[in-house]
Structure 1
Amino acid sequence: MNSILFYDGDCGFCQRSVQFVLKHEREPVFNFAPLQGKVATKLLPVNLTQNLDTIVVYQEGKMLTESSAILFIAKNLNFPYLFLIIFKVIPTPIRDYFYRIISRNRYKFTYSRNICKIPKENVRKRFLE
């Protein structure tokens, strides 16, 4: 089963991050679903679907959030982004602190929240409701 990457569907920065993952994956590992969607409601605890400040990676019943999710994603990217996993040596509370700073300010990184690139057919099937 592929991992599911849950993201804030109303956030332009988050949507661009999904496009980045699609472009730089070594192989198709992720399906994508908004935290506001039906799949998230079915698979994730309520606190994660209401807290749109975190990215969630769901794989085989396990959930990774914040910097741990980012490092899992990085592990599946092409060179040179693969090397982001070096940040795993930093203790999780410190990594998550910096993650939260970026997350709280993510709307400042894009001009529009509603940026939606229409993916090609072969990629579109990887997007879940």
Structure 2
Amino acid sequence: MTLRNTQYSYRDAPDVPAFSDEGPVCVMDANCALCAHSAMWIARNDHRGEFRIVPLQSDLGAALMQHYGLDPDDPNSWLFLEEGRAYSGLDALAHVGRRLGGGWRSLSVVLILPRPVRNVLYRFVARNRYRWFGTANLCFVPDPEVRKRLIK
């Protein structure tokens, strides 16, 4: 999916609550075990402590999703904001890897796949993630590194 990617466009959107957007922001499904583990992975590898995590089910998460033309009631989506620009799906994963640096930059290899292939692959995993990984509550993950990054 191609997102409207005007830098920091959400700041001028009346339906998006103001929030601290210093550093990258991940909007993730708070009910997904894969997303909860991904949040822990980000927290463990973000040595500068820059990343913030917003539950998809929060008012802010829903507003950001709608702003970028994504359905906040469809937990198959996730959103990554970096320097005010939005990415979703495997594109978001590649940008997270780049931002984390080191060996995680290799996640960018997914960008060699044509966008339609990336989108199909991402949707396949997203549609099956509850079945494969189960559910969790991101807001109650006991990891203190995750909890201090949450914006609710």
1:105 alignment partner, SS class: helix
Residue 124 of structure 1 deviates from its aligned partner by: 2.9
Counterparts of 2:98 and 2:53, CA distance in 1: 17
- Deviation, 1:69, is 0.8
Aligned to 2:118: 95
Counterpart residue identity of residue 147, structure 2? R
Change (3 A) 1:128 1:99: same
Alignment equivalent of 1:118, drawn from 136, 142, 145: 142
What one-letter code is carried by the residue in structure 2 that aligns with 1:68? Answer: D
Compare 92-101 and 77-86 and name the one that shifted more.
77-86
Give the corresponding residue for 1:34.
Answer: 55
Q: 2:129 aligns with which of 106, 114, 121?
A: 106
How many aligned residue pairs are there? 128
Greater shift, 66-75 or 81-90, is seen at: 81-90
Partner letter of residue 69 of structure 1?
A
Letter in 1 for 2:141: K
Runs (5+) with no aligned partner, structure 1: none
How big is the shift at 1:78? 4.6
Identify if the C-alpha distance between structure 1 residues 54 and 112 changes in structure 2 by more than 3 Å, giving closer, same or farther: closer
| Alignment pair present for 1:55 and 2:78 | yes
2:9 maps to none
**TM-score, normalised relative to structure 1:** 0.83
Offset from partner CA, 1:42-92 (integer Å, 9 cap, x none) = 333174312210110124543211111111111123533221112212221
- Distance, in Å, in 2 between the alignment partners of 1:83 and 1:5 is 19
Instruction: Give the letter aligned to residue 131 of structure 2.
Output: K
Q: Assess if the C-alpha contact under 8 Å between 2:53 and 2:151 holds in 1.
A: yes
Q: Is 1:18 the counterpart of 2:42 in the alignment?
A: no
Residue identity opposite 2:55 in structure 1: P
8 Å contact from structure 2 (residues 26, 54) kept in 1: yes
